[in-house]
Amino acid sequence: MSPNPLTPLEHVPLAPRCTMGVGGPARYLVEARDEDTVIEAARWAAARRLPLRVLGGGSNIVVADEGVDGLVVQIGLRGITAREADQAVEVTAAAGEPWDALVAHAVESGWAGLECLSGIPGLVGATPMQNVGAYGQEVSQTVTAVRVLDRRSGSIATLAAAACGFGYRTSRFKHDEPDRYIVLAVTYRLVLGGPPTVRYADLERDLRARGITTPSLRDVRTSVLGIRRAKSMVLDPADENRRSCGSFFLNPIVDPAQLARVERAAHAPVPRWPESDGWVKLSAAWLIERAGFRRGEGPGPVALSTRHSLAIVCREGARAADVTAFAAAIRARVEAHFGVHLVLEPVLWGELCLRP
């Protein structure tokens, strides 16, 4: 354990630590650069019966204007190791490693499996929690183990992928037991010298437009970054849409009866992607636009992104309450038009009145 007693900072503004740039302060905050500090922080909060929140890159949370009355642990654990075995490489990254830097390292090293996840903001520790995915890949396809602090027992454990409860943009860490585990490190099994994953229409079109018929990992990463940049889905200080947390709603997965109702309401072909057992995934962005919302428009200091209908962006003077009120209005109108309930992708911290 660390020889120094834990001394959290007090009344620390969280808005500058989050990509939306809204929200109040943390009552207490500690920056954890090693596992011992994480363990001590969990004990410190438990001893005082305080809520504990874990902050990574701040790219997938909305903090209430009143802030967080508890202890926030900002994860700063660093380190990457790799071990080759049987045409594969086991890559273990600490939870505080920047995600896109890890993807870039994998691509340059010739390790296939993460290339379509280029440009996603945030840190490694969030990837198993969210089961981060894009353009035909999900981290659940490569995760083999997650090292965690089990707050229930106070001990460190390693969970196999099968124990992580992965689903569409969710996991055991986010949905089933959201307050039990703190992710410390993640291990991914990547294919040494393997081909890139190309099975998403936007990606295929971009590669064709660039005249590439046999893409490399680097080609796919370049295309994904370009597509994401065109949608303001990479962090860019010069982008007018930069203050967002990316997609605010998940693409809904519906059964055949729900699909039929949406088609009747839309009076037009509905974009869909097949899932299992006849269920299909719909485009939340398409539903939002069909419900009457337009890119770049919104009430007061919040609006939809000018480049992507799934992103809510903040302007000068925006508050967390403005964000959740606009999100609630979007969801209510989509549900009224199509009978589809949109589920939030970001996590809400504090007293924000908007159910998932």
Among 97, 115, 138, 345, the active-site one is 345
Assign residue 263 the CATH number of its domain: 3.90.78.10
Note whether 264 and 341 are same-domain residues: yes
Among 48, 75, 102, the domain-final residue is 75
Note whether 288 and 271 are same-domain residues: yes
Note whether 326 and 292 are same-domain residues: yes
Look-up of token digits 């005249």: 211
Q: Does a structural domain hold residue 156? A: yes
Among 118, 244, 247, 305, the active-site one is 247
Q: Does a structural domain hold residue 187? A: yes
Q: Does a structural domain hold residue 317? A: yes
Query: What letters, b where the CB count within 10 A reaches 16 and e where it falls short, cover 163-181?
Result: ebbbeebbbbbbeeeeeeb
Look-up of token digits 């808005």: 15
Q: Does a structural domain hold residue 2? A: no
pLDDT for res 356: 56
Among 169, 228, 243, 272, the active-site one is 169
Note whether 24 and 136 are same-domain residues: no
Per DSSP, helices labelled H in the chain are 35-47, 99-109, 126-130, 201-209, 217-230, 256-266, 284-290, 320-338
Note whether 138 and 194 are same-domain residues: yes
Note whether 85 and 222 are same-domain residues: yes
Q: Is 97 a catalytic residue?
A: no
Assign residue 197 the CATH number of its domain: 3.30.465.10
Note whether 295 and 177 are same-domain residues: no
Q: Does a structural domain hold residue 57? A: yes
Q: Does a structural domain hold residue 183? A: yes
pTM: predicted TM-score of the whole model, two decimal places: 0.93
- Alpha-carbon dihedral of residues 16, 297, 170, 93, nearest 10 degrees? -40
Note whether 86 and 226 are same-domain residues: yes
**What string of pLDDT tens digits covers the 356 residues of the chain?**
444 679 999 999 999 999 999 999 999 999 999 999 999 999 999 999 999 999 999 999 999 999 999 999 999 999 999 999 888 999 999 999 999 999 999 999 999 999 999 999 999 999 999 999 999 999 999 999 999 999 999 999 999 999 999 999 999 999 889 999 999 999 999 999 999 999 989 999 999 999 999 999 999 999 999 999 999 999 999 999 999 999 999 999 999 999 999 999 999 889 999 998 899 999 999 999 999 999 999 998 999 999 999 999 999 999 999 999 999 999 999 999 999 999 999 999 987 756 55
pLDDT digits (tens, 9 = 90+) for 180-224: 999 999 999 999 999 999 998 999 999 999 999 999 999 999 999
pLDDT for res 5: 78
Please enumerate in sequence order all residues whose Cβ is within 8 A of that of 122, keeping only pairs 6 or more positions apart, or say none.
56, 57, 59, 60, 98, 99, 132
Note whether 210 and 260 are same-domain residues: no
Among 19, 49, 75, the domain-final residue is 75
Give the chain's domain count: 3
Assign residue 44 the CATH number of its domain: 3.30.43.10
Q: Does a structural domain hold residue 235? A: no
Q: Is 345 a catalytic residue?
A: yes
pLDDT digits (tens, 9 = 90+) for 116-133: 999 999 999 999 999 999
Note whether 84 and 126 are same-domain residues: yes
Residue 88 structure tokens: 């594969």
233 and 224 Cβ atoms separated by less than 8 Å: no
Note whether 111 and 203 are same-domain residues: yes
Note whether 179 and 136 are same-domain residues: yes
Among 75, 96, 111, the domain-final residue is 75
What spatial distance separates the first Cα and last Cα of the chain, rounded to whole Å?
38
pLDDT for res 288: 98
Q: What is the DSSP letter of 48?
A: T
- Alpha-carbon dihedral of residues 145, 148, 150, 153, nearest 10 degrees? 80
Q: Does a structural domain hold residue 248? A: no
Structural domain that includes position 43: 9-75
